[in-house]
Amino acid sequence: MPINITNNLHTITGTAGTSVTSHDALPASTLKISGVLQKPLSLASIQSTSSTLEQSGMQEQHLTGLTSSTLASDLHADGRLITEKLANIINKLHENITSSNLVNTATNKPLSSILTIMGNPPQPTGIVSIDDTAKLSYQLEKLAKTLPKGDIKEICSLLGQNMKSGWITLKNQELNAEKKQQLAPLGTPGASETLSLSVGVSSGVSLLPALGGTGSVGPYAELSVGGQRTTGLSADDETLFFKDSTTGSHVSVAAGAKVKLTDQIGAKLGANAQFSHTNTQFKEYDSVEQYVDRKGHQLNRANRREYIDSSKNHKVENFVKSHLPFNLGSELKNIKYERQQAVNSQHRLNDLLETVLDIKTNVNATPLKEVSH
């Protein structure tokens, strides 16, 4: 199966053998970008991939798989992208982009990144790693934004979103396994943990200087606003797991007049008012595992930019974001939405792959109904 990708800046050339045994890899191909020879590209055979996946006993949930009427055309195996099948789509996209003269300064960077990732040696299992899935989906969506309106732009956008949906679910599963180990001690009867966070802001106005004197006189106003959140995790003697959350807010307002003659002599007349609100929620789970399965997408944090931005400034920024409360910036929170988006676009993506790239597939994306917010 020849694999040829050519444009004025990038060249990928490879030739596959006429026969491949179940445990053989296809002959190596090479990737050349801007005159720089990259690592060899070696794609495992479908038979080897299927055998390896069966031997490893992968139990990953089927996510946003693209499944054709024949097994040989599957893009996913147990929700994981098969490298060789994805490479075929990327090759066809590249051919269409270059033949349509769509390569320019804007498209070159994400396109180069995609080709570089696909040019790296594949995993022994023949599937795309979770990290590479994050990078490829990010770059495909970025590439789509640089292309003019049309079928190629739509394919890049829908394929990128489909892969993003798969990455979010796979990454969440990976982090859930770590979170279950972390919280395992809290499943012991009588164990508990409490986390508390509080913030507050206050402000006021200055006194007006007194005319012809050294003192001061005038109105004053003060405002104080604050909030607090406390989360408790505990287990009872029957190994049931509980989470209680308390959120509170308060506002304090003071106003009046103040006279200050000297440092020792003065007077203050005014009034103040305080308002507060507290809300407590209590939820019960059968176990720590059930709690993590249902709430992991809110407990965990991950963003695809962390795989892309490697500069020192971005590393510092990503470190700060990873330690902010409420997992701000985490793409895992959108797991239900992204999965539904993949479902909504599956038939359109299937049609475009067949009519534009001549790749017949059956897009089969499953919505995630069990996630609770």
pLDDT band at 275; cut points 50, 70, 90: confident
- Least confident interval from 18-22, 84-88, 89-93, 142-146: 18-22
Residue of 237 and 67 predicted with greater confidence: 237
Q: Look at residue 211 and tell me whether its pLDDT is greater than 90.
A: no
Each residue of 119-150: b (16+ CB within 10 Å) or e?
bbebeebbbbbbebbbbbbbbbbbbbebbeee
pLDDT of residue 363: 65
pLDDT band at 311; cut points 50, 70, 90: low
* pLDDT cut 70: percent of the chain above it: 66
CA quadruple 34, 35, 36, 37: dihedral sign? positive
pLDDT of residue 368: 67
Q: pTM for this structure?
A: 0.66
pLDDT digits (tens, 9 = 90+) for 337-364: 999 999 899 889 989 999 999 998 776 7
Q: Look at residue 283 and tell me whether its pLDDT is greater than 90.
A: no
The average confidence (pLDDT) of the chain is 75
β-bridge mates for residue 252, sequence order: 224, 274
pLDDT of residue 213: 56
How many helices (H) and strands (E) would you count in the chain? 9, 12
pLDDT digits (tens, 9 = 90+) for 163-202: 999 999 999 999 999 999 999 998 888 788 887 777 778 7
pLDDT band at 37; cut points 50, 70, 90: very low
pLDDT of residue 104: 94
- Least confident interval from 149-158, 284-293, 334-343, 357-366: 357-366
Q: Where are the domains of the chain?
A: 3-182+332-365, 191-235+241-285
Can you tell me the distance from the alpha carbon of 362 to that of 60, in angstroms, rounded to the nearest whole number?
Answer: 20
Tokens of 299: 């407990």
- Least confident interval from 83-87, 166-170, 182-186, 252-256: 252-256
Contact (CB, 8 A) for 109 and 101? no
- Least confident interval from 19-33, 105-119, 215-229, 293-307: 19-33
